[in-house]
Chains A and B, each alone.
Chain A
């Protein structure tokens, strides 16, 4: 674990974050529409106050937590991570957040739990994408427990020291930097500990295209496009593509989680 966080510090120093403007005006948040600029345009009406998160399943302290209760005693730190979308574009984001492991320790994970499931809020009145049913809602995601407990995995509450903008998943979202962006579920209202692999939205919609793991992997293409390279946002009209890194550049930290697994099969 110490080695893993040491690697983060080293990696962070080399990354140049995208502007706050870039990060908050180019988003996928299908609850607010399918266009990249739709979330920034439509997410203003998202109700984030009060915010309650249901914690249930195989935990010692289940219940409905306010955001303050859930984060009480934990200090948000800045983590500058690469963010790689499954659509083959990427950004660098300076998140503010706490390690998910610390939150899970607080709610008391029981020994039989193997997975963590997450759910996004559904507010049909203000969510145009929900009204249009572009995908099934609520959006759900999940991690294996060891992935959830990894020190790189965050519950983020801010960007650039500002409270999380609505279009980026206010007030609290997951950040798993070695997986495609859609795994980093936004605006979380439920966290469930379970012993079965939980459903994941894009995996339900199209299992051939989106696996449960969805680790960034330049060697396993999306059926409709290559994942070998990516376009870094912010380079303008003539930006050149960059090679995509195994586990999005976090191979040293996370590869051991998948030892012995065929990543072509468990994509």
Chain B
């Protein structure tokens, strides 16, 4: 496709480190708004900032999961941005966790209680833990050391992280809210594109 070709050509000129810069700038901008209680942070900035970091993290996880299907089905090549997207997602999850622990819950003991006692926090924490080995091994040296096959297998943990993030969001809201459902549907859809359906079907009879 012409449009895709043009896009691919244009994207080749965009350096991947821009993702980190944009991510950091966005995180600082959100924090700045919360600190000065601007806009949606006007009355109660803590929960809103916690929510905002969590949502950006989920959006980046979704973006990362889009890379492969976009290439496979549309020929759009975003592969060189994937590492930066994933690592930035990790940092937003970390920021989300820090706001939760330091500004919201405010005590290590209570943080632990929340993780153990509240299933939606447990699920969110599991998603965070799943991302840690991925963030640590998101460099060329780790790929060489682990070997491509092992590395790729390890990085399938992003699927779990995405699902856990969606469940975490679904579980924390009150009543029927559309946003977490949309995220869940998209993430499940993106994971479905990874399933090798042919191998699931029983062998065709001759």
Contact = CB atoms under 8 A, between A and B. Distances in A.
A237 interface: yes
A167 to B, nearest CB: 12
A237 B37 CA distance: 8
Interface in A14-66: 21-22, 25-26, 30, 34, 36-37
A233 B178 contact: no
Interface stretch (B113-121, B150-158, B197-205): B113-121
Given A37-B40, A225-B118, A239 B174 contact: no
B18 to A, nearest CB: 29
A132 B120 CA distance: 25
Interface string A87-122: 101000000000000000000000000000000000
B44 interface: yes
Given A224-B120, A241-B106, A30 B175 contact: yes
A240 interface: yes
Interface string B91-127: 0000000000001111000100110011110000000
Majority-rule SS of A interface residues: loop
A22 B43 CA distance: 6
A39 B42 CA distance: 15
A237 B46 CA distance: 5
Contacts of A233: 43-44
Contacts of B47: 89, 231
Contacts of A134: 175-177
Contacts of B103: 237-238
Nearest to A33: B177
Nearest to B31: A237
Contacts of A25: 42-43
Interface string B163-191: 00000000111111110000000000000
A89 B44 contact: yes
A12 B49 CA distance: 32
A219 interface: no
Contacts of A237: 34-35, 37, 45-46, 49, 103
A20 to B, nearest CB: 12
Contacts, number: 63
Contacts of B35: 236-237
A239 B47 CA distance: 11
Nearest to B173: A34
A114 B44 CA distance: 39
Nearest to B45: A237
Interface string A130-144: 001111000000000
Interface in A193-217: 205
A205 B175 contact: yes
A123 interface: no
A134 B40 CA distance: 22
A25 B119 CA distance: 31
A5 interface: no
A133 B176 contact: yes
Residue among B34, B42, B175, B177 facing the most chain A CB atoms (10 A cut-off): B175
Nearest to B177: A34
A163 interface: no
A237 B102 CA distance: 11
A11 to B, nearest CB: 24
Contacts of B34: 237
A227 B37 CA distance: 25
Residue among B35, B46, B48 facing the most chain A CB atoms (10 A cut-off): B46
A234 interface: yes
Contacts of A87: 174
B64 to A, nearest CB: 27
A36 B44 contact: yes
B186 to A, nearest CB: 19
A225 B176 contact: no
A-B pairs, 3 with minimum CB distance: A26-B43, A135-B175, A134-B175
5 contacts: A26-B43, A36-B48, A89-B47, A224-B118, A237-B49
Interface of B: 34-35, 37, 40, 42-49, 103-106, 110, 113-114, 117-120, 171-178
Given A34-B174, A132-B176, A224-B120, 11 more contacts: A26-B43, A37-B40, A135-B175, A205-B175, A224-B119, A224-B171, A229-B110, A231-B44, A237-B46, A239-B46, A241-B105
